Structure 1
Amino acid sequence: MLSQRSRCLRRHLQLSRSSGRFTPSYAPLSTSPRLNGYDDTIQNLKIGSHTRVIFQGFTGKQATANAKESIEWGTNIVGGVKPNGSGEHLGRPVFPSVKAAMKDVKPDATGIYVAAHQATAAIEEAIEAEVPLIVAVAEHIPLHDIMRIHSMLSSQSKSRLVGANAPGIISAIGKCRIGFQPLPTFSPGHIGIVAKSGTLSYETVGSLTRAGLGQSLCIGMGGDVIAGTNHVDALKVFEHDDDTEAIILVGELGGTSEEEAADWIADYRKRVKNPKPIAAVIGGFQAAPGRVMGHAGAWTGLGEGTTESKYKALEKAGVTMVDHPAKFGGVMKDILAQSGRNEQSAAQAQQRRSYHTYRRPCLSTVFSASHPSQQRRSLHLIADQSSDLLKSFNIPISPSGPQDTPSTHFLGITVARSSRSPCIIAAPTTDPSQLHKRVRRFPFDYRTGPTQSTIQEALSYLQLDASPPKASAQAVSLIKNLWTLYRTKEAITATLSLALHPSQDALVLWDPYLFFDAAAFKSCNRHADLHALAAQKSDIDTEAEKAGIVYIPLASPSTSSAATSAATQTAPSHVPEPTNLVGTLVNGAGLAMNTNDVLALRLLPHTTSANFLDTGGKATSATIATSFKLILSDPRVKVIFVNIFGGLTLGDMIAEGIILAFKEVGVRKPVVVRIRGTNEERGREVLRRADLPIKAFDGFEEAVREVGRLAGEEG
């Protein structure tokens, strides 16, 4: 039986910052109450040697391999679940249900190792059994399934979720791993880490370990649109954790979790006499506008801050910012020594490192406040398709808005990431220059839908609450019908423009925008008819998708300059397309974004990245070869940079894939390789023995310098 709802209410203020100033870009997120019983479960994140763990999907291939490693490392796995199963596996009991496991072995946590289409039911079963900590690692769980799960979680105070689409949670001190983190990288110590990106967290841990600094607790919040545990949740754990002396935060574009963390940190530094030092890295400065950058949640929605605003908010809150996680080892030694929390490192504080006082220059990127209409990890309908679908839900669309109306409005249903729920999104304007600043979200419970009071709040903000009776009734019906469409078809966003017709006292609706969750179809085969409307993909997109690769071409510096000039209404001079860009091949979306960011910082205006390419966490020799083919299809590429941090991906396997690419693809461009992580030395040795024109490096900075040199060579 689920616990009763908490009566305590909390309001959330969602901020968007520009020019480093803490000014709200729109009114408070909502005046609707939010239950905080789920907040009472934050303490469940403090895992360690005491934590009793079960696995759901225990007897599966991946779970078995993971469990063996974790048990050998010291994790106290006390059993597992196989539906209707029994007996033993790996010397541990197998139970037919989570409820049976809870009764018999009383676990503190469960790791869910099942495919995306099975994960929702597995999470719900764990919530119903009141398992204190639920860790979901699966990628591509449909968004609406996750929103329904969070509706359940918000009404109880027993279970806490980490994930989904996350590497999990690991205590290096307590030898407790619930996830798939690369164990050789970790070492026990006193630095707590919370990260959206798995690969960036591994880079962070590897840097700390090489510097002689271990980790206390590492929480992978994951890269989904909605995270079961976010940055602020983790910070609250680290604040009161005696094992944690310093904190690292890893963020990226999308959502407002980093800005909320900045608010929390600013308050923390005011109320605590000797606050724990905090450092951070943010990825996504070079992200293509309007595109999903690998992670399902890596896109900037209306009213959400940019990567730049996240960076500035954290910096203003007193966080030490770095541009690449390989620098964290040196940085943390420095700031620990300054704080007096690590006397052993005090001598090193005398040599100040330039990266400690690093300030990120403003890069020439163009922020787009428009809809993410080019997202290819979702289904976006064109205007005619949207109009037809809306009409079937009693929402008639006009070809254009009225010409003589004094005001227009923006309205729809989308995701409120902070509230972990759907919401009404509204603005009393459709002016593109004002929309980003004035848009406001009104969250509501997924299972109940928008209440009458929430609808009235939204209409009041739209300044439609005093409309004539016919128009008011139409507006209420519009929101209800949009929600029906949104829920029924599993949309991510459904919005339109509207205005009060001056002569008819009725609403006119136009400019519909709909996009839908591709995971609902790809993982669970739902809405096949809807997804059959998807536009035909290019050969390159098809090949990338077939190989499990996310490949996104990026604008060249000349194109960016032209876009910037257009935005400032100046005439750009004609600049020919460059032929000296860097093709990047990276495993992990977060690391791929960060790689492009650092290349731009180090090499602009001379050169920059030609593409974003994430091979995925399980890259094989075949996917590496396919990645080279995709990169070489771009005539702008002069040099290829392979940046790998091996977690699940083995360094020697990556090296073999690179050699295979030279033989099968016919690589004629210079290649620079930087391999870190699992089997890194073996991988570099494989490349050396191959006797090919490949330059292999241990350090990231050395590799970037060589990339810049090769890109600048004549010929």
Structure 2
Amino acid sequence: MTVPTSSRSISTMYAKTLPNLLIGSQTRVIYQGFIGKQATTDAQESLAWGTKIVGGVTPGRDGLHLGLPVLPSVRQAMEKLKPDATAIYVAARHAAAAIQEAIKAEVPLIVAVAEHIPLYDMLRIHVMLRAQSKSRLVGPNSPGIISAIGRCRTGFQPLPCFLPGRIGIVAKSGTLSYETVASTTRAGFGQSLCIGVGGDVVPGTDLREALEVLGHDESTDAIALAGEIGGTAGMDAASWIQAYHSRTKSPKPIVGLIAGVIEAPNRVMGHAGAFTTAGEPDALAKIAALEEAGVTIISYPAKFGEVLRARLQVHAIPLRSGSRSGTLTRRQFHTAAERQQRYFYLPEDKCLDLLRTAGQVNCATYTGHGVRRLLAVGIDRSARSPCILASPTIEQDQLIQTIQRSPLDTTVDTLREVVRSLVSTFHEGEAFLLTTHLFGFDDAAFNSSGRQGVIRDVATGTNRLNNEAERSGIVYIRLWGDGPVGTLVNGAGLAMNTATSETVKRGFELILEDPRVRVIFVNIFGGLTLGDMIAKGIILAFNELSLKIPIVVRIKGTNEKEGQQLIADSGLPLYAIDDFHLAAAKAIELSLSTSGRPDIS
């Protein structure tokens, strides 16, 4: 399986579609997968809110749904309904084809909310996107894009959090975007446009492109930026911001956050693209670059409102100079369970076997003699294309400065045969990273499309808790250190609509397997995740597992009042706290006051 590649530069043709992100009250929206349960629910909410939904598409269907036309193809919908945007609500195994259909029909804005779309399917889609100038993609793995001032939603963001205003928001994480929205609403500012670029490895719109739109948007006075680990999007954003400040007389203030200061090596931290590979900057490097560019950095999203207030003058006029303040807090949270699983890594011995048999590469374990250099095949996330990675050293602290990325068609003659074998193995195994000691591959290729079963079988079976978590649709991440706080959190992806109260209980069981845990902090901000479902799961876990350690609960977002009421009515000794800062502080306080792990048997 091969994927066409291109140079590192972003297509100027595709760049012409950036204005398509400026949705508003007149934006005509359709849904692909219109008659599905989740699409129906979200469409009803959006219609009631004021979004101009004009119909939808379901293959093989023709008629009405919610009183609106249903057509069998996107092309017919374009001809008859004249949409400006489509929200794609189909399962991951059908999502790539649905995106391609929308591109071919030249829908101006395509919003893909599905997660677990195979990486190689997305790379092929980017080849299509680079060659055209009509359609702009947001996502996949995105909560969507929403105009609070235009009351237009193409996605599943929790509407009660939004307030029409003048703050533009761009975020990799859906849940972090909800927290940012809630913070700016509490501060009384409200939002103009919120772009959820999504947590995918190669999203259709990245942070830099979203910033460019908000930077020129006359309805936006200040910008909140929520990034995370993985790739170079944060560095690209910092470069754009620095250039923006130098060429703009009165630049809009930008407040930023980078999630993932503490990460587990070789683990995906929730989102498909939330992992750091060879030569990529970590969270601290991105934070330093953004601060150098003039961004005010905060440590968690609840601070956005108050810090934006400090950055804005009376009447919401942008300040002329940027502040470079902000400190980071390393909290002692170490065990986390959440929805979503995406990637696996093969250990060195398995990787060497694969290279010898499939790639015909002469390789062996390092003997301790000679100089080690890096030659790998990976993904250039900025170019949205596979690339060759090369460095004269393998030392992690030097890779960022020394690593070179090249398109796959520019290999050195003397290495051509080796590189060709590496590239062949990389493509055939649907990898995102291939070195002689590590092979990272996309599990979505198996889960969504049934591909790469043999490689997946080799990778699984090494960690009992990880495997048990995966079977329950949960990501289990064990961090280092002696921190006594375990966390149960949610993602914002479409897969969250399959979570149940039993899933929540199973999350508690996994966390309690770690003997270090003396306090559990449940932090939920739901879009698709229902607050009452989470509350029922907490109560179920408390009763059936005979929990005897403190539980701090914060439930926000969809059905938050119902969830909070269930917790209050349960009579259980739970610490229900609405504010994130206070809830986190309480969890830390309880962990310090609990000298040992109580018997929970």
- Report the TM-score when normalising by structure 1: 0.77
Assess if the C-alpha contact under 8 Å between 2:341 and 2:470 holds in 1.
no
Assess if the C-alpha contact under 8 Å between 1:171 and 1:177 holds in 2.
yes
Assess if the C-alpha contact under 8 Å between 1:617 and 1:647 holds in 2.
no
Assess if the C-alpha contact under 8 Å between 1:331 and 1:356 holds in 2.
no
AA at the equivalent of 1:264: W
Shift, 1:332, TM fit = 1.8
AA at the equivalent of 1:309: A
What CA deviation, in whole Å up to 9, does each residue of 1:629-683 have, x standing for no partner? 1111111111111112132222232222211111111111011112222333332
Q: Which residue matches 1:148?
A: 124
**Residue 703 to residue 319, structure 1, CA distance change in 2 (3 Å):** same
- The correspondence of residues 477-626 of structure 1 with structure 2, limited to 5 A, is 477-496=417-436, 512-557=437-482, 581-588=484-491, 616=496, 619-626=499-506
SS in 1 for 2:476: strand
Assess if the C-alpha contact under 8 Å between 1:378 and 1:518 holds in 2.
yes
AA at the equivalent of 1:484: S
AA at the equivalent of 2:200: D
- The separation in 1 between residues aligned to 2:185 and 2:395, in whole angstroms, is 51
What CA deviation, in whole Å up to 9, does each residue of 1:45-100 have, x standing for no partner? 00111111111111112111111111111111112111132112112211121111
Q: Which residue matches 2:3?
A: none
- The correspondence of residues 202-241 of structure 1 with structure 2, limited to 5 A, is 202-241=178-217
RMSD over aligned Cα, in angstroms?
Answer: 2.6
Q: Does 1:417 align with 2:417?
A: no
Q: Does 1:76 align with 2:52?
A: yes
- Which range moves more in the overlay, 80-89 or 275-284? 80-89
Q: Does 1:96 align with 2:75?
A: no
Assess if the C-alpha contact under 8 Å between 2:252 and 2:318 holds in 1.
no
**Residue 336 to residue 638, structure 1, CA distance change in 2 (3 Å):** same
Q: Which residue matches 1:650?
A: 530
Shift, 1:174, TM fit = 0.9
Q: Does 1:172 align with 2:148?
A: yes
AA at the equivalent of 1:553: R
**Residue 132 to residue 185, structure 1, CA distance change in 2 (3 Å):** same
Shift, 1:133, TM fit = 0.7
**Structure 2 residue corresponding to 1:440, chosen from 404, 410, 430:** 404
- The correspondence of residues 192-203 of structure 1 with structure 2, limited to 5 A, is 192-203=168-179
AA at the equivalent of 2:421: N
Q: Which residue matches 2:346?
A: 381
Off by >6 Å, runs of 4+ in structure 1: 361-365, 401-405
Q: Which residue matches 2:157?
A: 181
**Residue 32 to residue 194, structure 1, CA distance change in 2 (3 Å):** closer
- The separation in 2 between residues aligned to 1:384 and 1:637, in whole angstroms, is 33
Q: Does 1:399 align with 2:367?
A: no
Assess if the C-alpha contact under 8 Å between 2:496 and 2:528 holds in 1.
no
SS in 1 for 2:451: coil
SS in 1 for 2:419: helix
**Residue 432 to residue 585, structure 1, CA distance change in 2 (3 Å):** closer
**Structure 1 residue corresponding to 2:541, chosen from 661, 673, 687:** 661
**Residue 65 to residue 665, structure 1, CA distance change in 2 (3 Å):** same
AA at the equivalent of 1:534: A
Q: Which residue matches 1:697?
A: 577
Shift, 1:625, TM fit = 1.1
What CA deviation, in whole Å up to 9, does each residue of 1:582-634 have, x standing for no partner? 111112289xxxxxxxxxxxxxxxxxxxxxxxx95764321221111111111
- The separation in 1 between residues aligned to 2:304 and 2:42, in whole angstroms, is 28
**Residue 340 to residue 169, structure 1, CA distance change in 2 (3 Å):** closer
Shift, 1:376, TM fit = 7.5
Q: Which residue matches 1:130?
A: 106
SS in 2 for 1:622: helix
Q: Which residue matches 1:598?
A: none
Q: Which residue matches 1:280?
A: 256
Shift, 1:323, TM fit = 1.2
Q: Which residue matches 1:372?
A: none
Assess if the C-alpha contact under 8 Å between 1:673 and 1:696 holds in 2.
yes
Assess if the C-alpha contact under 8 Å between 1:162 and 1:229 holds in 2.
yes
Specify every segment of 5 or more residues in structure 2 that has no aligned partner in the other structure, as ranges.
Answer: 1-5, 334-339, 596-601
- Report the TM-score when normalising by structure 2: 0.91
Q: Which residue matches 2:96?
A: 120
- The separation in 2 between residues aligned to 1:522 and 1:581, in whole angstroms, is 34
What CA deviation, in whole Å up to 9, does each residue of 1:27-60 have, x standing for no partner? xxx9865532111111110011111111111111
**Residue 69 to residue 32, structure 1, CA distance change in 2 (3 Å):** closer
Q: Does 1:709 align with 2:560?
A: no
Q: Which residue matches 1:256?
A: 232
Q: Which residue matches 1:190?
A: 166
AA at the equivalent of 2:327: R
Q: Which residue matches 1:66?
A: 42
**Residue 226 to residue 131, structure 1, CA distance change in 2 (3 Å):** same
Q: Percent identity?
A: 52
Specify every segment of 5 or more residues in structure 1 that has no aligned partner in the other structure, as ranges.
Answer: 1-29, 344-354, 366-374, 444-449, 460-464, 466-471, 497-511, 558-579, 591-614
SS in 1 for 2:138: strand
Shift, 1:206, TM fit = 0.9
SS in 2 for 1:93: strand
Larger RCO: 1 or 2 (CA < 8 Å, sep 6+) = 2
Shift, 1:687, TM fit = 1.7
Shift, 1:362, TM fit = 7.9
SS in 2 for 1:94: strand
Assess if the C-alpha contact under 8 Å between 2:59 and 2:72 holds in 1.
yes
Q: Which residue matches 1:500?
A: none
**Residue 145 to residue 641, structure 1, CA distance change in 2 (3 Å):** same
- Which range moves more in the overlay, 207-216 or 139-148? 207-216
